[in-house]
Amino acid sequence: MIYFVNLPNPVNNVLLKIIGMCLLLTNTLAQSSPCDLTQFESTPEKQFIATNLGTVLDTKTNLEWKVCMEGKTWQNGTTCIGTLEEYNWQSALEIANSLNTTEGFAGKYNWRLPNIKELATIFEFRCRGEINPNIFSAYPIKYQKFQAVWSSSPQSTRSYSWVMAVKGPSGQPRIYQHYVRLVRDAVTPR
């Protein structure tokens, strides 16, 4: 505690209130900062190459990711528009199959749901575990709802599969609704 012994009590109280508000503001700003820059960068931007087709190549893993999550569409080579959709696990798997058998995306026809290890490679853990927002179209922060992205990885319980959430991987019932981000192996032809 800080004491201002030579100041009259009302002045003492005002100064303490000002210091308290400054400390509160400093703490609030530190908590609301999207990234802790003192931590190791798990998805450095230099490891990704963006295209104007709505994809990003991870040069470390050789995986090509759709920038937009399903429900949004790539527009004008610059941004994702539309409304994010949530799907159960079976529907998430079917999205990739449907895309590959119809129009494809960015001239490619081998999109799939990533496994949990692949999905973890695009999460920037120094930014509260979010998908790197400087590289990908990130999902909105919804503190009142558990939000996650499906992986293709089943969990040991038959009716559960792995998702990547803001706080890390988690097993979820396959009937739950979560977001979908598709990936492809960049070296695989068509």
Give 97-151 pLDDT, tens digit per residue: 999 999 999 999 999 999 999 998 888 777 766 777 778 765 554 443 567 899 9
Give 57-83 pLDDT, tens digit per residue: 999 999 999 999 999 999 888 888 998
183 exposed, middle or buried (CB, 10 Å; 0-12, 13-18, 19+)?
buried
Handedness of CA 126, 128, 134, 135 (dihedral sign): positive
More confident residue, 9 or 104: 104
pTM of the model: 0.75
**Taking a C-beta distance cutoff of 8 angstroms, is the pair 141, 133 a contact?**
no
CB atoms within 10 A of CB 12: 15
Q: Which two structure tokens, joined as six digits, stand for 47?
A: 């490891």
Which residues are CB-neighbours of 146 under 8 A, at least 6 positions away? 165
Does the pLDDT at position 8 exceed 60?
A: no
Q: Which two structure tokens, joined as six digits, stand for 128?
A: 């509260």
89: left (phi over 0), alpha (psi -120 to 50) or beta: alpha
Three-state DSSP at 29 gives helix
Q: What is the dihedral of CA 29, 42, 122, 127, to 10 degrees?
A: -10
